Amino acid sequence: MTTPISRTAPRAYSLSLNSLVRTAGALATSALLLGGCAAIQDSDLFGEGSRNVTSASNAAGTTAVSTDVGVSARSFEALSVTGGRATGTSVGAKVESLRNELRSLQDTMVGQTSRVNTARAEATANARDYHTTRAAITARLQRGTTPGNPELVSQWNTAQAQLDAVSADINAMSGLSTEIATNASTANYLLEATAATFSLSGAVEDDHRQLRILQDEVRQTTVLIERLLTELRDDIARQTTYVANERSSLTTLANAIKAGELFGSGLAVSNIAPPAATAAAAPAPAAGTPALVTIRFDRPDVQYQQALYTALSRALEVRPAAQFDVVAVSPAAGSPDRVQLAQSQSRRNAETVVRTMNEMGLPADRIRLSATTRGDVTANEVRVYVR
């Protein structure tokens, strides 16, 4: 059985809100917008029977930004380059030259690691501010507010700026990663040069003793640099994913601000690439196939978004890679002009539903739009099927 649900007609919003939604649209796939009346099939959605289902992870989920760096500036400050007496040999002079290069490298690493710590601390502070702002927006939306509330639009813009600051911190760390990679190459060169010096002729025993000490110190420095570089690259990758997820979360919030209420945290969409939507690979729903959602436009001001969101969430929990057919259904009865008018209106309704699904986080390549007329319906409908 399907139960109709209604929604208010689209409203006009301020210029700042339109700019907000356009900006959010650049961060996620968008399509078309409308309204309708929805009905949910509470029976087994896919004929698979009742079973436990693990929900897909929320793409907008957040990850705390860590401030800890395993290798700190103090790690390099604790390193020292052992001095040695001059032996008066060419090998002794080479050893002293290598010592000076190692000291310079360690000093450089102290400064760079301090900059890494600063960048990470700033990213943490900016992320904390961002989450505070986002939480305030979410709390306001959860209790309901006016569509396009300018106060929330302003808060959304602040949250976006704070997330941009986190991105800038990540860019700074990426630049540091490049610099540290260069120093890793220098450390490897010193390691090879130290080993090669053992084969030079004209050395005394004290030259080789000093070389062995220097070789150990170069190895220790090399290990610390490589460890720092690995930690930094892992952190950059983790925080880049975090920012990308939060961009999606901001898009969800932008559309919620436009509607004046929060339907959910964004549909949890599987990363599995769906097959290409072609007529041969994905035929239209067969007659008698139950619709996941039926949206009946038999009166004005129909509200359907929450019911649609709930149904899509359930469907994606059971089948994370699911795709959807959105079918515009119009009555076949009446004069030719009336039938054509109904078809046109039904198509616009279906486009609205597609736009709504996009705004909830469902990619456009998961949705196929079509239209049909039926003699057993008396009002325009939009039906959503799972495939």
| pLDDT for res 212 | 93
Q: Considering only residues 219 and 285, tell me which one the structure prediction assigns the higher pLDDT.
A: 219
- Reference 303, options 1, 9, 3; nearest CA is 9
CA gyration radius, the chain: 31
Fill in the amino acid letter for 165: A
Q: Is the pLDDT of residue 165 over 80?
A: yes
The pLDDT assigned to 71 comes to 77
Which helix (H) or strand (E) element contains residue 104?
Answer: helix 90-142
258 Cβ partners below 8 Å, 6+ apart? 13, 17, 20, 21, 147, 148
* Same domain, yes or no: 84 and 105: yes
Same domain, 211 and 291: no
Please say if the pLDDT value at position 283 is more than 70: no
Structural domain of 139: 73-259
Shared-domain flag, residues 254 and 317: no
**Are 107 and 49 in a shared domain?**
no
Q: 315 with 339, same domain?
A: yes
pTM of the shown model: 0.57
Mean pLDDT of 64-85: 69
Boundary (domain end) residue, out of 259, 279, 302: 259
Domain count across the chain:
2
For residue 174, being part of any structural domain is answered with: yes
Please tell me whether residues 81 and 19 are part of one structural domain. Answer: no
pLDDT at 277: 42
CA distance 258 to 356: 12
Contacts of 41 (CB under 8 A, 6+ apart): 2, 290, 291, 292, 293, 311
Q: Is 218 a domain residue?
A: yes
Is 7 within the bounds of a domain? no
Q: What are phi and psi of 270, to 5 degrees?
A: -65, 150
Helix (H, G, I), strand (E, B) or coil at 101: helix
| pLDDT interval class at 85 (50, 70, 90) | confident
Percent over 70 (pLDDT), the chain: 76
**Are 99 and 179 in the same domain?**
yes
Q: Are residues 173 and 308 in the same domain?
A: no
Whether residue 319 is found in the same domain as residue 277: yes
Q: pLDDT-based confidence at 84, cuts 50/70/90?
A: confident
Instruction: Please check whether residues 111 and 212 belong to one and the same domain.
Output: yes
Say which CATH number the domain at 304 has: 3.30.1330.60
326-352 pLDDT, tens digit each: 999 999 888 888 888 888 889 989 998
203 with 230: CB under 8 angstroms? no
Same structural domain for residues 224 and 306? Answer: no
At 170-196, the pLDDT tens digits run 999 999 999 999 989 999 999 999 999
Same domain, 241 and 344: no
